[in-house]
Amino acid sequence: MVQGTSLREGPVYLDANATEPLRPAAREAMLAGLEQTGNPASVHAAGRKTRIMLEEARRRIAAAFGREADGCVFTSGGTEADTLALHALGRAEGRCILVGATEHDAIRRAVPEAGLIPVDGQGVIDRAALEAMLVAHGAAGDGPGPLVCIMAANNETGVHAPLRDVAALCRQHGAFLHVDAVQAAGRMQEQDEFSLALKDGSLAGASLALSAHKMGGPKGAGALLLPEDRPLAPLLPGGGQERGRRGGTPALASHMGMAAALEDSRMQDWSVLAALRDELEAVMVEAGVIIMGHGAARLPNTVSAVLPGVAAQMQLMALDIEGYCVSAGSACSSGKVARSHVLEAMGQGEAAGQAIRVSLPWNVRAGDVRSFGRAYGLMARRFAERGLLKRPTPMWGGPVTHEG
Amino acid sequence: MRILVAMSGGVDSSVVAALLKRQGHEVIGATLQLYDHGGPAKAGACCAGRDIMDARMVAERIGFPHYVIDAESRFRESVIESFADAYARGETPVPCVACNQGVKFTDLLNMARDLGCEAMATGHYVRRVEGPEGAEMHRPVDRDRDQTWFLFATTREQLEFLRFPLGEMPDKAHVRALAEELGLDVATKRDSQDICFVTNGSYAGLVERMRPEIEGPGDIVDEDGNVLGRHEGIARYTVGQSRRLGDIHTGTGERQMVTAIDVSSRRIIVGPRQKLTSDESRRVVRLRDMNWLIDAPEEGVRCGVQLRAREGLRQALVRPLEGNRAEVRLEESALPAPGQACVMYEGDRVLGGGFILADR
């Protein structure tokens, strides 16, 4: 394989959907937060000062989605925000739960009993199937309407959900909608489905889960935005912080960083990234790749690429050795690579074990994207020369296990 | 050169990786996840065993990339299932040979080639010697740790690509001292023992859970079918063993040995040791799935053969047969166990080997 494709230092990071690099604005905000000693729950002057800072961050985050601060509950991240919504708004209210078939493990593993709403070959929620499920549920009994949980944009393919249609169906059938906005919230473009659904009020009755580090903020912070100010059965009762909805002292600096990152992300011209992404996809298609979800509206930064016949793990290793950080569907805590449940739900069969995800970070350099494209092409050519594109690779056909 | 090191997380393969890195090679570490490591995580969860974490820490500390390869389903099929199948046929398999042959030296080695590596190294104690006709396999300097018997099925093509740096080490203390010197945390780690995937209890218990049809007691009989006693399950017996026969030795007045295992009647057949070891008809052994590390000698080769993992050499004439088989004519009679390996040596050099067939 080619050595030294460029004279750069360190690896090229193209795994933004795992975590975005910290935005300078977020870092600055966090440093200001770290300077403070007070506990926002304390009565004294130091406490009052930090309380003001925390509430300011809360107001800005809620406002970015047209919400009031009262409905914003700070959490430790996206997983906790999703889990809190599923438990407090779903299970605790006796609602039956329906989730998209391509949802993240943060959802799937929190409610293993949930009904799965199928997606089409592009990864888009099947609206007719959802409607049928809602109708069947309505006919079955007189309990509260179901909780429907859909991700605004998929972490592996970047495919946007048809949120306005989904929200209309939920309203029509008395269902509550929870939107996992972890990947979409920090990468919003004016005309994307999530923005349009927020703008036209489709999501006024929905809850939203957010994660700071997917926006260019710190890891370990997130929020659940409720449609209105309401009490919740907490996962962590603790000292009654977050008005009894989430115990534990809030991570002030992290939430300040989150607010700054979110606002910074809204100033970004994502069409620049989208153009680089399109250019990269063209190069990869030239190398023999099939792009997943290509026919659907997607996040501007995400490429889900299948190289037929080549196990995802083999591609990840070959690219890592060359100094490029990309990922596959689901890496577990041990580091082994499992098949992608997202592509399986899309009916992609074999391809579920042969897809890698390239996700451009907010600060990606055009030169790095292009050098990656060249390295990928060389890798694909070498695999073809070794007959790998035809030879089955038995060792990576293991059982589907997901974690992390 | 770019070289892939198969790392188990133990001290041996860690030293190999660190040594090669120190010699200036571009090292890539790979650890195979072969089975669910159990522990607190539930089945189905992918839990990193302690060994995988150790291998990772070594790679991070020394400074080379490390990957965990999911080989669970392949290992289950090619090693664990065939291990249970062999017992269910009344044989005594050697799972380490199957693992080295398949998962390690076929799959992982192919992966190394696919990644553009020029060689693959492991922590095995065997010596690879460059001979006039290509790479040869020899016993290691440290005879106490000799693993040649377990690696006899390595093909000549695989051997060309493989490297075994520990084959030259004088003893284990030396390896541990090297680990210490290289700053490896695993320097004092305990050596692995026994069959790796038998994590709790006995191998026989595992076989009986996997193949319940062979579980349960049966008769111990002599060669004429007279019942001499009872046994607790055929998976607990190997041809040639004298243990676990209860008071049969005193009952018959002679030391007895297992001569055969009859799966269908669930009988263990025994005979008097004295008579068996002088039985002229027990001098011929037939082998299947031969692997020759020399050009197969049409007229046969006089050499030493080793019929068990821990046993001395016996003199024999080995002749290749049709269908990748071979006939071994021993100078003295023996009771080899079907399924075990028969490995041929000339001095320190491994000439090849095969698996012992049940028929004689």
* Cβ pairs bridging A and B (under 8 Å): 79
| Of the candidates B272, B267, B261, the residue with the CA atom closest to the CA atom of residue B229 | B267
Contact call for residues B91 and B140 (beta carbons, < 8 A): no
Q: Does A134 touch chain B (CB under 8 A)?
A: no
pLDDT at residue B52, as a whole number: 86
Set of chain B residues whose Cβ sits within 8 Å of the Cβ of A386: 113-114
Q: How is residue B119 written in tokens?
A: 């060689």
Q: Does A318 touch chain B (CB under 8 A)?
A: yes
Q: For residues B258 and B235, what is the distance between their CA atoms, to the nearest angstrom? A: 13
Closest by Cβ to B115, choosing from A318, A338, A395: A318
Contacts of B358 by beta carbon, 8 Å cutoff, 6+ apart: B89, B90, B91, B338
Q: For residues A272 and A300, what is the distance between their CA atoms, to the nearest angstrom? A: 9
Q: Does A10 touch chain B (CB under 8 A)?
A: no
Set of chain B residues whose Cβ sits within 8 Å of the Cβ of A335: 48, 52, 56, 67-68
pLDDT tens figures, B54-94:
899 999 999 999 999 888 888 998 999 999 999 999 999 99
Cβ–Cβ below 8 Å for A313 and B107: no
Closest by Cβ to B45, choosing from A388, A398, A403: A403
pTM of the model: 0.87
Q: For residues B276 and B289, what is the distance between their CA atoms, to the nearest angstrom? A: 27
Report H helices in A110-251: 127-140, 163-172, 193-199
Q: Could you tell me if the ipTM is greater than 0.90?
A: no
Closest residue, chain A, to B44 (C-alpha): A401
Set of chain A residues whose Cβ sits within 8 Å of the Cβ of B113: 386
Q: Does A400 touch chain B (CB under 8 A)?
A: no
pLDDT at residue B58, as a whole number: 93
Set of chain B residues whose Cβ sits within 8 Å of the Cβ of A332: 46, 48
Q: For residues B85 and B211, what is the distance between their CA atoms, to the nearest angstrom? A: 8
Closest residue, chain A, to B28 (C-alpha): A321
User: Closest Cα of chain B to A100: distance in Å?
Assistant: 22
Closest residue, chain A, to B65 (C-alpha): A321
Cβ–Cβ below 8 Å for A395 and B49: no
Cβ–Cβ below 8 Å for B70 and A318: no
B187 annotated as ligand-binding: no
Closest residue, chain B, to A312 (C-alpha): B69
Contact call for residues A222 and A208 (beta carbons, < 8 A): no
Cβ–Cβ below 8 Å for B115 and A314: yes
pLDDT at residue A19, as a whole number: 96
Closest by Cβ to B107, choosing from A317, A386, A394: A394
Closest by Cβ to A321, choosing from B33, B52, B115: B115
User: Closest Cα of chain A to B269: distance in Å?
Assistant: 40
Where do the domains of chain B lie, and which CATH numbers do they carry?
Answer: 2-188 (3.40.50.620), 218-273 (2.30.30), 280-356 (2.40.30.10)
pLDDT at residue A333, as a whole number: 57
Test the B interface: residue of A310, A336, A337, A341 with most B CBs within 10 Å: A336
Contact call for residues B162 and B110 (beta carbons, < 8 A): no
A162-187 burial code (b ≥16 CB/10 A, e <16): bbbbbbebbbebebbbbbbbbbbbbb
Closest residue, chain A, to B76 (C-alpha): A398
Q: Does A398 touch chain B (CB under 8 A)?
A: yes
Q: Does A11 touch chain B (CB under 8 A)?
A: no
Strand partners, B352: B292, B344
Angle CA A16–A20–A24, to nearest 5 = 145
pLDDT at residue A332, as a whole number: 58
Set of chain A residues whose Cβ sits within 8 Å of the Cβ of B67: 313, 316-317, 320, 335
Q: For residues B83 and B80, what is the distance between their CA atoms, to the nearest angstrom? A: 5
Q: What's the average pLDDT block by block, 10 residues per block, for chain A (404 residues)?
A: 52 96 98 96 96 98 97 98 98 95 95 96 96 90 89 97 98 96 96 96 98 98 97 94 96 98 97 97 94 96 95 94 89 69 91 94 97 96 84 40 33
pLDDT at residue A404, as a whole number: 31
B167 annotated as ligand-binding: no
pLDDT at residue B279, as a whole number: 81
Angle CA B169–B171–B174, to nearest 5 = 75
For chain B, residues with pLDDT lower than 70 are: 36-48, 192-194, 360
Half-sphere exposure (Cβ direction) of A145: Cα atoms closer than 13 Å: 15
Residue B215 DSSP class: -
Closest by Cβ to B46, choosing from A313, A314, A403: A403
Indicate if the alpha-carbon torsion angle A361, A364, A369, A371 is positive or negative.
negative
User: Closest Cα of chain A to B336: distance in Å?
Assistant: 33
pLDDT > 70 fraction of chain B, expressed in percent and rounded: 94
Contacts of B1 by beta carbon, 8 Å cutoff, 6+ apart: B25, B26, B117, B118, B119
Closest residue, chain B, to A323 (C-alpha): B65
Q: Does A333 touch chain B (CB under 8 A)?
A: yes
Where do the domains of chain A lie, and which CATH numbers do they carry?
Answer: 12-16+270-396 (3.90.1150.10), 24-266 (3.40.640.10)
Verify whether residue B196 is a known catalytic residue.
Answer: yes
Test the A interface: residue of B69, B72, B109, B110 with most A CBs within 10 Å: B69
Contact call for residues A214 and A186 (beta carbons, < 8 A): yes
Verify whether residue B99 is a known catalytic residue.
Answer: yes
pLDDT at residue B43, as a whole number: 38
Q: Does A381 touch chain B (CB under 8 A)?
A: no
